[in-house]
């Protein structure tokens, strides 16, 4: 028979019961704020205070996760040499992907957004946050403790992080070079971690441009039963 620690509970705090009007107002204000969020590829070189990134990552770390395993690690890169290495490795993979591995329909979709294998933002942006998935938790005895719903948990935390950075006044770009194994090598991360994406962040350049796109309206993305 194995012993199991009994769960401990404390009273829920931090929630104030709001009127329907207050709830509606908060929801609408958040929607309006998020409507101004755009994926940016033109970044200013202006440095971002470290405490801003730390606060945003702490917010991301509050995300729910499978069995509360919190299977994520955020590697923050501001060093110019490391950013250069990441760009070189990413562009190598991206160049091969665009030339040989990407299906034509994917290339056609990307063409509408003006993206290419060149990723200058990996050096021009002041901060790269490489988000890693913890595939399992190493045990002191050398064993492995399983993590649950890793991809889903990391996705939720990344959403928290993007929203937090936008709320702070920063722009972001999600970048997923394929494959991404070089990120673990360059940053010296352990073997139980797998890179999920690079979140590029900083202030947008004064001459930044974004493609003309539209988001799907509510009836196309939600069904109420």
Phi/psi-derived region of residue 204, left when phi > 0, alpha when psi is between -120 and 50, beta in every other case: beta
Look at 94 and 195; give whichever has higher pLDDT: 195
pLDDT exceeds cutoff 90 at 22: yes
Average pLDDT taken over every residue of the chain: 94
Q: What is the mean pLDDT of residues 37-53?
A: 97
pLDDT tens digits for 105-132?
988 888 888 888 899 999 999 999 999 9
CA distance 49 to 27: 29
Distance of alpha carbon 194 from the chain centroid:
14
Q: Residue 1: pLDDT band by 50, 70, 90 thresholds? A: very low
Read off φ and ψ for residue 189, nearest 5 degrees: -80, 155
Q: Residue 2: pLDDT band by 50, 70, 90 thresholds? A: low
Q: Which CATH architecture describes the domain 38-221?
A: 3-Layer(aba) Sandwich (3.40)
pLDDT exceeds cutoff 80 at 3: no
pTM of the model: 0.93
pLDDT exceeds cutoff 50 at 97: yes
Q: What is the 3-state secondary structure (H, E, C) of the chain?
A: CCCCCCCCCCCCCCCCCCCHHHHHHHHHHHHHHHHCCCECCCECCCCCCHHHHHHHHHHHCCCCCECCCCCEEEEEECCHHHHHHHHHHHHHHHHHHHHHHCCHHHHHHHHCCCCCCCCCHHHHCCEEEEEEEECEEECCCCCEEECECHHHHHHHHHHHHHHHHHHCCCEEEEECCCCCHHHHHHHCCCCCEEEEEEEEEECECCCCCCCCCCCCCHHHHCCCC
Amino acid 24: pLDDT = 97
Look at 136 and 103; give whichever has higher pLDDT: 136
CA dihedral 62, 124, 194, 54 (to 10 degrees): -20
Close Cβ partners of 152 (under 8 Å, ≥ 6 residues apart)? 66
Task: Please compute Rg for the chain using Cα positions.
Answer: 20
**Quick one: what percent of the chain has pLDDT higher than 70?**
99
Domain definitions of the chain by residue range: 38-221
């Amino acid at each position: 028979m194995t012993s199991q620690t009994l769960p401990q509970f404390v009273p829920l705090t931090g929630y104030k019961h709001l009127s329907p009007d207050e709830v509606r107002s908060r929801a609408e204000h958040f929607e309006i704020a998020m409507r101004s969020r755009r994926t940016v590829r033109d970044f200013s070189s202006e440095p971002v205070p470290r405490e801003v990134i730390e606060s945003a990552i702490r917010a991301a770390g509050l995300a729910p996760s499978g069995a509360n395993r919190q299977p994520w690690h955020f590697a923050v890169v501001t060093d110019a040499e490391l950013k250069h290495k990441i760009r070189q490795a990413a562009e190598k993979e991206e160049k091969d992907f665009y030339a040989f591995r990407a299906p034509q329909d994917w290339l056609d979709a990307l063409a509408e957004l003006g993206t290419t294998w060149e990723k200058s933002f990996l050096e021009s942006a002041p901060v790269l946050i490489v988000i890693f998935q913890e595939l399992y938790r190493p045990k002191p005895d050398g064993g492995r403790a399983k993590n649950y719903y890793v991809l889903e948990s990391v996705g939720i935390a990344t959403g928290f992080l993007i929203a937090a950075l936008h709320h702070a006044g920063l722009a972001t770009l999600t970048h997923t070079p394929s494959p991404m194994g070089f990120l673990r090598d360059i940053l010296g991360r352990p073997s139980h971690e797998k890179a999920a994406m690079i979140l590029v962040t900083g202030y947008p350049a004064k001459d930044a441009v974004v493609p003309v796109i539209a988001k799907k309206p509510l009836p196309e993305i939600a069904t109420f039963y």
